[in-house]
Amino acid sequence: MPYVRPTSHLERVRNLIDGRVPDPGADSTRLARSYRRSLDDYRLDPGATAGPRILSAGELRAIQQSEEGFLRSAALCLPRLHAMVREAGYCVILANAHGVTIDYAVDQDQRKHFRKAGLYLGSCWSEDEEGTCGIASVLLDQAPITVHKLDHFRAAFTSLTCSAAPIFSARDELIGVLDASALSSPDARDSQRLVYQLVRQSATMIEDAYFLQSHDYCHIMLAHRNRHFVEVQPEMLLAIDEHGMVVAANRCARQLVAALATLPRPIEEVFEVSPGRLFDRRAGSQLLSLRMTNAGAGSWLHARIRAPSRSSPRQFPDATDSAPARRSLAQHEQAERTRIANAMAAAKWRPLDAAAMLGMSRATLYRRLRQFDIVPPHRQ
């Protein structure tokens, strides 16, 4: 049931857009932008009380098959996060880069109630369908957020609280969203701070698990600035091929080590160490202290090297393998497809930025992406 009357909620939505809500919260600017898109671009009704669209079993199965690697990476983290928040009445949702719920964790005796609220496998949470909500906001802004109760655009969801965080690949491409949602909670937004932080930490853990799985054919450097945390919780991950080239690094490593901004590059240009020393059989059982190249005093990392577990990259099934071949495009359509694909690549696959570059609304961009079957490189 909606938390407020639809008419009252519509008034609040318009007041927030116009800046007339007292103490609107830290994310009021993001929420107002999302409200405006929901009203003007998508023509959604904030008073609507119907739940989200839920895919059929066949549609969901095809998407899950295409996301096999992602699901495998998150398999341990979802129940772990749920165990931390379940007593407070939360479920945990994993959505793909299109806002489709592909996995979730919920108490068995609460499953019926969460399903009634739309928190269920196959539910679709894109902004052009459901307006402002946790998953949709993260998909567009690619930043974590808590969308708390009345923050939701649609009256149907104003009893929910949702804390969500983005999950990125090693190429900085958004691959999914992790979300913890509750059917009821205190009215104060501050009550969600702990859950928000837990979701962010868990999203980073899934990113790192996806990194390790995607690069298990490489030597992996597990590193930390504090030698005592290398074994228990490495913060930096680097994938190094057989030629001593750093081919990938996780987000933390790229943020902390300036030399990793451009990849691939030889390991000697990142650390004062030779590939031979790294690949020495004894390195896997020793803790290495590595000094960053061209860095000042004290710029050291402590690391351990993990040997490759396979000789070639993994090949995960793709749902497009069984889909009908894309129709041939006319010359003007091919030109438009190329223009959109180039804009998406230039914007690092951020739809909000690409739409601005192309001079079209996000809703139009989404339709063109589906029409021309344009997908990020890691989905191909």
Q: Do 370 and 227 share a structural domain?
A: no
Res 24: pLDDT: 66
Q: Tokens in use for 372?
A: 């021309």
Decide the pairing of beta strands 161-168 and 101-105: unpaired
Q: Is 324 within the bounds of a domain?
A: no
**Mean pLDDT for the chain?**
86
- Average pLDDT of 81-101? 96
Q: Do 300 and 246 share a structural domain?
A: yes
Q: Do 340 and 265 share a structural domain?
A: no
Q: Do 199 and 66 share a structural domain?
A: yes
Q: Do 194 and 74 share a structural domain?
A: yes
Q: Do 109 and 144 share a structural domain?
A: yes
Cα dihedral: 125, 46, 365, 121 (round 10): 10
Q: Which of 132, 210, 133, 152 is nearest to 176 (CA)?
A: 210
Report the range out of 11-20, 139-148, 223-232, 307-316 with the highest average pLDDT.
Answer: 139-148
Reduced to 3 states (helix: H, G, I; strand: E, B; else coil), residue 220 is strand
The 10 Å CB-count burial string (b at 16+, else e) for 298-331 is eeebbbbbbebeeeeeeeeebbeeeeeeeeeeee
Question: What total of structural domains would you count in the chain?
Answer: 3
Q: What is the pLDDT of residues 102-147, one digit of tens each?
A: 999 999 899 999 999 999 999 999 999 999 999 999 999 999 999 9
Q: Is 313 within the bounds of a domain?
A: no
Q: Do 341 and 299 share a structural domain?
A: no
Percent of the residues in the chain that have a pLDDT greater than 70, as a whole number: 88
**Distance (Å, whole) CA 34 – CA 152:** 10
Q: Is 316 within the bounds of a domain?
A: no
Q: Do 291 and 233 share a structural domain?
A: yes
Domain of residue 107 covers 6-213
| Domain stops at, among 190, 213, 236 | 213
Q: Do 197 and 225 share a structural domain?
A: no
Q: Is 337 within the bounds of a domain?
A: yes
Q: Is 315 within the bounds of a domain?
A: no
| Domain stops at, among 213, 241, 263 | 213
188-192, 330-334, 337-341, 373-377: range with lowest mean pLDDT: 330-334
Q: Is 323 within the bounds of a domain?
A: no
Q: Do 230 and 199 share a structural domain?
A: no
24-33, 158-167, 247-256: range with lowest mean pLDDT: 24-33
Q: Do 117 and 221 share a structural domain?
A: no
**Distance (Å, whole) CA 54 – CA 93:** 14
Q: For residue 66, what is the domain's CATH number?
A: 3.30.450.40
| Domain stops at, among 179, 213, 247 | 213
Q: Do 169 and 65 share a structural domain?
A: yes
Q: Is 318 within the bounds of a domain?
A: no
**Distance (Å, whole) CA 169 – CA 148:** 28
Q: For residue 360, what is the domain's CATH number?
A: 1.10.10
53-62, 103-112, 293-302, 342-351: range with lowest mean pLDDT: 293-302
Q: Is 339 within the bounds of a domain?
A: yes
